[in-house]
Amino acid sequence: MHNILSSINFVSIAIGAAYLYLVNILMYFGLIGEQWSNAMDRDKGVKNWAHKTHPKDQRGWDQFLEFALYAVQTFFVMGMMNLAQVECYNHAFQLGLFSYIAYIIPEIYRAHVWEDRPCNLLAIKALRGFLGTAGLTVVLHHFGTDIY
């Protein structure tokens, strides 16, 4: 009987999770962190809302869980890429783009129309969503998507 654990590409899962984590850090704390923070302050109606709603002693655990969720997300994206039989970077990008259009764009629209989220916050979410879908599939294609 084939051992399923020995056929999973854990390196790609770790790389995908690290990629998503890095995108998260660069988006929310690095490159455009100040714009995101200002947009969230306006959206929440209070300055420094994160410090008021979340104790500092839980942040390490939350970051670990965030990384674990990125690993799970990566595993399922790898499965989707296998089911779609992605064979080149172009196909990987297209699959990620289709996911972006199917899931991220409608969520951004709904957040704008029904939740009245600030446009600059939605733009940041759109960029992060693009990197987390089309960007992730390209990265995973490079490192391999074997999960069976």
For the chain, what is the mean pLDDT? 84
Is pTM beyond 0.85? Reply is no
pLDDT 10s digits, 19-38: 999 998 887 776 666 676 66
Q: Is 138 helix (H, G, I), strand (E, B) or coil?
A: helix
From 83, 107, 106, select the one nearest 95 (Cα to Cα).
83
Residue 3 is predicted with a pLDDT of 65
pLDDT 10s digits, 95-144: 999 999 999 999 999 988 998 888 888 888 899 899 999 999 999 999 98
CA distances from 54 to 51, 59, 60 (A): 6, 8, 12
- Is a pLDDT exceeding 90 seen at residue 44? no
